[in-house]
Amino acid sequence: MICASCSKRFQPDWKFCPECGREIVISSDEILSSGGVKYFPEAFEAESYRFGKMIAETTSFYQVFLRFVLCVVSDITQLVHFRAQVIHEANLIAGSKHNLSPTHVLWCALSVASDRYFSEKALLYDWKATDEQQISSGWYDLIAPAFVPNSPNRKMEAKLIRDWVAQFLALHRRASGPLPTCGA
Give the helix ranges, DSSP H, for 82-157.
83-94, 102-125, 129-147
149 vs 131, residue with greater confidence? 131
Kindly tell me if the per-residue pLDDT of 22 is higher than 80: no
Measure the CA–CA gap between 79 and 142, rounded to whole angstroms.
Answer: 8
Q: Around 182, how many Cα atoms within 13 Å sit in the side-chain half-sphere?
A: 6
Domain spans, the chain: 36-171
144 vs 4, residue with greater confidence? 144
pLDDT band of 21, cuts 50, 70, 90: low
pLDDT averaged over every residue in the chain: 81
pLDDT in tens, 29-71: 555 567 888 888 888 887 888 888 889 999 999 999 999 999 9
Ramachandran area for residue 7 (φ above 0: left; ψ -120 to 50: alpha; else beta): left
Measure the CA–CA gap between 74 and 103, rounded to whole angstroms.
Answer: 26
The torsion angles phi and psi of 2, rounded to 5 degrees, stand at: -125, 135
104, 46 contact by CB (below 8 A)? no
If you average pLDDT over residues 131-149, what whole number do you get? 91
pLDDT at residue number 155: 76
pLDDT in tens, 47-58: 888 888 889 999
Task: Supply the DSSP string of 66-93, one letter for each residue.
Answer: HHHHHHHHH-TTHHHHTHHHHHHHHHHH
If you average pLDDT over residues 118-145, what whole number do you get? 92
Kindly tell me if the per-residue pLDDT of 4 is higher than 60: no
Give which of 106, 71, 108 is closest to 90, Cα–Cα. Answer: 106
If you average pLDDT over residues 122-140, what whole number do you get? 92
In percent, how much of the chain has pLDDT > 70?
Answer: 72
Indicate the angle between helix axes 83-94 and 59-74, nearest 10 degrees.
180
Measure the CA–CA gap between 85 and 89, rounded to whole angstroms.
Answer: 6
11 vs 145, residue with greater confidence? 145
Q: Which long-range contacts (CB under 8 A, 24 or more apart) does 10-18 make?
A: 12/47
